[in-house]
Structure 1
């Protein structure tokens, strides 16, 4: 009885560690993709592709299914590139409900709007 309880607790801790590893890896990949997409010579979609490649190489292609990138302007007038990743939250091993985990990475775009409105 005690061994079964200990096994359940150990598996729960392992699963929590796996979920945190997946989350941290997705955040890192999204941030790196946003930095890549914020360069002046590339488009934000290139950042999304970079994020997909990083997630696929670190985790699995199943975690890289929904990656979106967009260029936006913040309330203070700063252009940023945001890469958003929606992936399954691993509940039983690497399997879980799709879209259960959404993370994003942002980076300042190298193409900023000048104070006078000219680019």
Structure 2
């Protein structure tokens, strides 16, 4: 066996450890970003859907809250449906329904901060002709 091969013998384990030390946090970071984007996009869709359902003539903020909670409960965990706030407001002279949803996303790894996410949905209120 040549001298160079003898010197590099057993180097696979330290190289593997060094590569894993870089790859594991990178993969966990990518997964955390994907989770945050998924939860945020789902919350935005739920807020918009709740606002649209409450914008009808016979509906109100209670209908918006219920619809947003239903959407969140079917796609995410129930804990994200706890902080849904719906109200009537005026934006640029138009009566609108506004739905706000907020929640905290826990970290995937053993360390790291949780991420707070807030989503807002608006819909113009229907008027009687």
- TM-score, normalised relative to structure 2: 0.77
Any gaps of 5 or more consecutive residues in structure 1?
113-118
Any gaps of 5 or more consecutive residues in structure 2?
1-17
Q: 1:43 aligns with which of 22, 45, 60?
A: 60
Are 2:72 and 1:55 equivalent residues in the alignment? yes
Retained in 1: the 8 A contact 2:28–2:108? Answer: no
Alpha-carbon RMSD: 1.9
Instruction: Provide the residue aligned with 1:68 in structure 2.
Output: 85
Larger Rg: 2
Cα distance in 2 for partners of 1:78, 1:46 equals 20
Cα distance in 2 for partners of 1:8, 1:57 equals 31
Between 1:27-36 and 1:38-47, the stretch displaced more is 38-47
| Structure 1 position 97, deviation (Å) | 5.0
Cα distance in 2 for partners of 1:72, 1:83 equals 10
Cα distance in 1 for partners of 2:108, 2:99 equals 27
Are 2:99 and 1:83 equivalent residues in the alignment? yes
| Structure 1 position 89, deviation (Å) | 2.7
Instruction: Provide the residue aligned with 1:115 in structure 2.
Output: none
Cα distance in 2 for partners of 1:97, 1:91 equals 5
* SS across alignment from 1:40: coil
Tell me how many residue pairs correspond in the alignment: 109
More helix by proportion, 1 or 2?
A: 2
Instruction: Provide the residue aligned with 1:15 in structure 2.
Output: 32
Retained in 2: the 8 A contact 1:23–1:103? Answer: yes
